[in-house]
A and B are shown apart, each in its own frame.
Chain A
C-alpha cells in the first residue's frame, strides 16, 4: 500500500527545504509524513518538536503545531508539552548530535520515564549543519573535519542505548528501505509510551565527501549493504554493520497516565 504525502501537511511556502542535494533527510521526513497520514490522528493535536541541526529544521516544513527548540533539548520541551496536555500527540525530530551528544541526558531520562512520544532520530553520523564534525555515531576510522586523522572513539549505538534506558518501542532502518522505515514510524506513533525510531540517513556533502561516499546512490547502496536484519544476528549492535529491525515492542505503564492517576487518587483522598 502506498500512501501519498498530503500537501496539507506541508508548508509549501517554506519549500524548498535547506537540505543539500542528495541528502537523505527528505526520505526520512517523507516516511514520517506518510506514517502520520496513516495514523489518522487529528492534525490539530499533533505537536511536532525538533532540536537544532539539519534534522531540526524539519519542524518548519510541516503543517502542525511546531516547535523548533534549542540544541539537545527537544525531548525536554516535549516532556513539558505532553505532561501539560496529555491529549496532544508529540512527535520529535532530532539528529544524532542533538539527541545523543548534547541531549544525551534528556534522551536516557525521557526513555526511562516511558513518556508517550515518538522520537525519530535522523542519524547521518555527523554534524552536517556545522560543516561535518565528528558525532557520537561517527563510525570507527571515519574522516570528519574534527577527526582529520580518522575517528578513534567507538561509535555509540542509539537504539541500543534507547532499549537500555527503558524505551518501550525501538526500531532502526536506513533510508534504503523507506517503506519499512515508514512502518516503524507508524508503529511508534500508535505505540503508547516512549518510542524511538532510528532512521539511518545520509550526508553526502559533509560525511560522504570525506569518506568516499559523495555519490548519493552509492551512499544509499553502502547503507543497504551494511544492513543486517535483526532476525539474523540476534544482537542489536555489531561491528561494521547496521542491525535493522524492531528491537523492542513492549507494553509498560506510561508516565503521563500514571501521573494523572496519582493526581486523581490524592485529590479524592483529600476530599474524604
Chain B
C-alpha cells in the first residue's frame, strides 16, 4: 500500500492501472491533460498501450476498438472534447462495449475558461448523445475517491458491459492530497461466453448482460451501431428494437442497489438538506459544520452516482426537509432533484470559474430560514 501526494487526475491514472486498464487513447485538453501524461508514463511500464490520437473522435473510437480486442480501455477529456466523443459514447452504449471516459470539467459553454472549474457537464453526461440509453456516471469529491471510483468505473463497465463516465472538475482534478493507494479493492473481469462458436449470440437477450467474446478468440461475430438483434446483425423490426433498448435500460435500472452510491452527512436529524457533489460538496461540508455550530440542523446529501439518479435514497433522505442545491452551473442537477422530489427547492449556482464558498452557502440557507 503506497502513500503518495498526488493530484486527482493522477489518482485516476493510478486507479486505472490498478483496475487493469492497459489501453489509453486521448487528445490533450485542459484540465484533463495531466491524466493523459501520467498514463503515457505508466502504461508502457505496465505493458499497456498509450496513444495520443489526432482528435477526440479518434480517441473514443480507438478505445472501443481496443476493448473489442480484449483490453480494458479508457480516455480522458474535458467539455469541448467530451462533446466530440458523444457519437462514440452512443456507439459503445448501444453495442455494449466496456470503456471508461473521464471528463474533467472546465467552464463553458464552448471553449469557456479552460483552467477554471465548473460542473457544467452534468446534463451532457446524461443527454449528450442521441437516442434513449442509460449511462453510469460517478463523481468523486477527493483525490482518494478519484482513485477508488476509477477502479469501480472499470468494474462496472465490465460487469454491465457499458461505458462508465467519471465526471470530475478542475478542482478535484488538480488539487493534491495525501492518499493511500489501497490494493485490496476487488477487480472485475468481463463475462466470457462458454458456448460453442455456433451457439454464441453477442446480444443474447436471455441475459440482462450477455457474455462478450474478444475479437480473435474464435467467435466470429458482428458489431454495429445500427439497431441489431441478438445475433448482432442489423434489424429494423420494431419488436427487436424494443427488446434491445428495454434490456439496455433493465440491466442498469434493475441494479440501482449496486450502482447507486452516495454520502449522507449529518442527515438523520437534519431539518435542512444541502444537495451538492464533487468539489462543491467539500465546501458544503464546511457549511454544514459551521451552521450546526450555530444550532441550525443542516445535513448534506452527496450523490456519488450522478446518473442514473438516486431516486429512492434522495426521496427518503429529503423527506420533510427544506432542500438546497448548490452546484457550479446555473441549474442542472437541481432539475433532477425537483423532478424526483416533486417540489420546489432553493437553488444557488454559478458558472464563472469560482467555487461556491461555504460562506455563500451559509448565507443562502440563513436567508431562507
Interface, chain A (partner B; CB < 8 A): 14, 43-45, 47, 49, 59-60, 63-70, 72-73, 76-85, 87-88, 105-106, 108-109, 259, 262-263, 266-267, 270
| Inter-chain contact A81/B57, CB cutoff 8 Å | no
Interface string of B50-79 (1 = CB under 8 A from A): 010111011101111111111101000000
Q: Is B339 an interface residue (CB 8 A)?
A: no
- Chain A proximity of B215: nearest CB distance (Å): 4
What are some 29 contacts across the A-B interface (CB < 8 A)?
A: A44-B216, A44-B220, A59-B224, A65-B219, A67-B68, A68-B224, A69-B61, A70-B87, A73-B61, A76-B57, A76-B58, A77-B61, A79-B62, A79-B65, A80-B23, A80-B25, A80-B62, A80-B69, A82-B65, A83-B23, A84-B49, A84-B65, A84-B67, A84-B69, A84-B73, A85-B70, A108-B54, A266-B45, A267-B45
A100 to B219, CA, bound (A): 32
Q: With a CB–CB cut-off of 8 A, which chain B residues contact A267?
A: 44-45, 47
The distance from the CB of B328 to the nearest CB of chain A, in whole angstroms, is: 32
A26 vs B156: C-alpha distance in the bound complex, in angstroms?
A: 42
Residues of A within 8 A of B64 (CB): 77, 80
**Chain A contacts for B217, CB-based, 8 A:** 44
The answer on a CB contact under 8 Å between A109 and B53 is: yes
Q: Which residue of chain A has its CB nearest to the CB of B232?
A: A66
Inter-chain contact A80/B225, CB cutoff 8 Å: no
Among A43, A59, A64, A68, the one with the most B-chain Cβ atoms within 10 Å of its Cβ is A68
> Shortest CB–CB separation between residue A145 and chain B, in angstroms?
23
Judged by DSSP, the binding face of A is helix
Q: B216 is contacted by which of A67, A76, A79, A87 (Cβ under 8 Å)?
A: A87
Complex CA distance for A84 and B216, rounded to whole angstroms: 11
Whether B61 pairs with A83 at a CB distance below 8 angstroms is: no
B349 at the interface (CB under 8 A from A): no
Q: Are A77 and B62 in contact (CB under 8 A)?
A: yes
Known contacts A65-B221, A73-B58; is-contact A262 B66 (Cβ 8 Å): no
User: Closest Cβ of chain B: how far from A121's Cβ, in Å?
Assistant: 18
Q: Are B234 and A65 in contact (CB under 8 A)?
A: no
B65/A80 in contact, CB under 8 A? yes
Contacts of B219 in A (CB 8 A): 65
Among B54-112, those with CB < 8 Å from A are 54-55, 57-59, 61-71, 73, 87-88, 91
